Amino acid sequence: MKPDFLIIPIGLLIQILFLFKNEWLRDKKNRKWIWTTSILLFAIGYILSSNFGKSIKTLPVLMVPLLAYLIFRIQFWTFIKIFNSEPVDTFHSNDIKLLSSGFFNFIFWVTGLIIPVWFSYAVLS
């Protein structure tokens, strides 16, 4: 039995946090924990995919959290520099005043998922 059902949710850690606990990604207290976890998952994913990559095709997904969190931090910093405020969670809001935050969320979902998955499969494995 292949461990795909465990590897994929672990590899999508940043996206799951972005969806359900967005404030954890922005909080300075949790930043060290998230960086450490992402770096460990990247190292484990790289080592395992180089050794067992032929038999378990989903191992490069473990490298996604580091790349996704890096993209999130860059976009978060850019948003603060442009709008002088933090983006807010607009998942259940239809407020037109939050359009810039909604755009930030959309851009993160597109770039924070597609780029890390492509990079981990095409470049690193």
What is the H or E stretch that residue 46 is in? helix 28-52
Residues 6+ apart with CB under 8 A from 83: 100
Contact between 86 and 79 under an 8 Å Cβ cutoff? The reply is yes
CA pair distance 41, 39, nearest whole angstrom: 5
Among residues 107, 47, 32, 17, which one has the least CA distance to residue 71? 107
Q: Between 92 and 19, whose confidence is greater?
A: 19
**Mean pLDDT of the 72-98 span:** 79
Residues 12-32 have pLDDT tens digits of: 999 999 888 888 998 889 999
Q: Between 67 and 59, whose confidence is greater?
A: 67
Task: For residue 31, give both structure tokens.
Answer: 């930043």
Domain ranges in the chain are 4-123
CA pair distance 91, 41, nearest whole angstrom: 28
| Full-model pTM | 0.84
